[in-house]
């Protein structure tokens, strides 16, 4: 098992706190494995095995749990009344009204509760209302490039970056050596998300239209989009679909953590903009699985990887509007905003000037970065730090 240290430390920080720990993220990103790693930590800290209660609602052993009451009683029957009990519920959203069982367990003084889910709906509606202020969410992603390198070893980092993109950042993909096996694994993930999570939950009947939207989005990561623009583009290709339907599909893809929606922010006016957004993909390997290895905009793919890393580092992220220019990312954290431009290469002087221009027009003195794949020494341009993106990804 790959040590997911950043997520593990978050769980340890909330151990025995009276909060429900909710780990959310796309299917197969490593949520269940994270629980296994955490349980090992508990055992190493002298927690007895009998104090640990685990139920995976996707497992055949749990098929008879059909209601929140059955879920509650399945846990309650195993509780040790004299000691703290660590309760782990995997894919808990599969049980109707599961939040009622969670609330009943939460109020017990000898229960420390941990749950996972593969859908953002886990923390919406009734759950958010019932458990408001009673949970903390840990948002999990597939492997970062740094985690990937920790598993495969250092060496030719440029080559390993290409492998990371092509062969997927899902942890189990590292166990597979043949390309056809990786594609079969990704097919299983894709089918589960589309058919189980989206089609079934949203009661979608036109699966072909949904897949057309998915293909369009996978082919347009990092481009400014709107539901109307997407619908018009698909209509011009012979697909009859409304902007409203496209918007519903985009929402479903975001709720299943396949896509991440990034809004726009006016840096000068300090306000959020309502028009157009960008979308980024949870795993670039899924893009290659679905679209093949046809030529891609590698600059936008690098942008996607940088976005996910900024997300992992705890930032709130927007696309920055600066007069008539654009800053790829405004990353807002607890200290101050940071500004990022991402480009495949800036060795051409004209390209360098174009990429620096929006950053140079920002009047505040917060950190500004230009990330590229140029294998050059770090440089500075009027206070803007130019860094090799691979070095930045691994924390050098």
Report percent pLDDT > 90 for the chain: 82
pLDDT of residue 131: 73
C-alpha to C-alpha distance for 310 and 146, rounded to whole angstroms: 13
pLDDT of residue 128: 65
* Residue-wise pLDDT tens digits, 16-74: 999 999 999 999 999 999 999 999 999 999 999 999 999 999 999 999 999 999 999 99
* Residue-wise pLDDT tens digits, 243-267: 999 999 999 999 999 999 999 877 7
pLDDT of residue 55: 97
Looking at residues 186-212, what average pLDDT do you find?
Answer: 92
Strands of 20-24's sheet, edge to edge? 52-56, 85-90, 111-117, 20-24, 135-139
Q: Which residues of 83-117 are buried (b: 16+ CB within 10 A; e: fewer)?
A: eebbbbbbbbbbbeebbbbbbbbbeeeebbbbbbb
Contact 28, 285 (CB under 8 A): no
pLDDT band at 305 (very low <50, low <70, confident <90, very high): very high
Domain boundaries along the sequence of the chain: 5-139, 145-393
Residues 6+ apart with CB under 8 A from 364: 337
Most confident of 196-200, 212-216, 263-267: 212-216
Of 3.30.2130.10, 1.10.10.10, 3.30.499.10, 3.20.80.10, the CATH number of 145-393 is: 1.10.10.10
pLDDT of residue 303: 98
pLDDT greater than 60 at residue 126: no
pTM for the predicted model, two decimal places: 0.94
Of 3.40.50.620, 3.90.1150.10, 2.40.10.220, 3.40.50.300, the CATH number of 5-139 is: 3.40.50.300
Same topology between domain 5-139 and domain 145-393: no
Which one, of 24, 20, 23, lies nearest residue 254 by Cα? 24
Phi, psi of 160 (to 5 degrees): -70, -30
pLDDT greater than 60 at residue 379: yes
């Amino acid at each position: 098992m790959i040590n997911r240290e950043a997520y593990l430390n978050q769980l340890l920080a909330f151990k025995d706190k009276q909060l429900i720990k909710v780990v959310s993220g796309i299917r197969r990103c490593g949520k269940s494995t994270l629980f296994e790693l955490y349980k090992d930590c508990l055992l190493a800290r002298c927690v007895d095995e009998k104090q640990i209660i685990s139920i995976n609602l996707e497992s055949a052993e749990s098929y008879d749990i059909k209601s929140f009451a059955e879920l509650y009683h399945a846990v309650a029957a195993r509780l040790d009344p004299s000691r703290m009990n660590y309760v782990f519920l995997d894919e808990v959203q599969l049980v109707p009204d599961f939040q009622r069982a969670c609330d009943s367990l939460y109020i017990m003084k000898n229960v420390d509760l941990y749950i996972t889910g593969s859908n953002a709906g886990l923390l919406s509606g009734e759950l958010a209302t019932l458990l408001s202020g009673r949970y903390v969410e840990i948002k999990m992603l597939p492997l970062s490039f740094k985690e990937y390198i920790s598993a495969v070893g250092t060496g030719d980092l440029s080559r390993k970056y290409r492998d990371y993109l092509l062969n997927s950042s899902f942890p189990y993909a590292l166990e597979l050596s043949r390309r056809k096996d990786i594609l079969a694994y990704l097919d299983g993930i894709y089918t589960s998300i589309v058919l189980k999570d989206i089609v079934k939950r949203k009661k979608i009947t036109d699966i072909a239209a949904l897949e057309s939207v998915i293909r369009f989005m996978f082919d347009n990561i990092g481009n400014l989009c709107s539901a109307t623009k997407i619908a018009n583009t698909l209509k011009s290709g012979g697909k009859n679909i409304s902007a409203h339907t496209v918007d519903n599909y985009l929402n479903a893809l975001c709720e299943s953590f396949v896509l991440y929606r990034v809004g726009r922010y006016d840096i000068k006016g300090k306000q959020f903009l309502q028009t157009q957004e960008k979308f980024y993909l949870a795993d670039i390997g899924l893009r290659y699985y679905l679209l093949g290895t046809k030529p891609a905009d590698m600059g936008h793919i690098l942008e996607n990887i940088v976005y996910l890393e900024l997300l992992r580092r705890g930032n709130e992220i927007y696309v920055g509007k600066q007069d008539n220019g654009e800053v790829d990312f405004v990353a807002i954290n607890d200290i101050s905003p940071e500004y990022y431009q991402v480009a495949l290469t800036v060795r051409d002087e004209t390209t360098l000037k174009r990429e620096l221009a929006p950053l140079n027009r920002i009047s505040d003195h917060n950190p500004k970065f230009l990330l590229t794949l140029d294998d050059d020494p770090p440089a500075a341009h009027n206070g803007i730090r130019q860094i090799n993106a691979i070095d930045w990804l691994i924390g050098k």
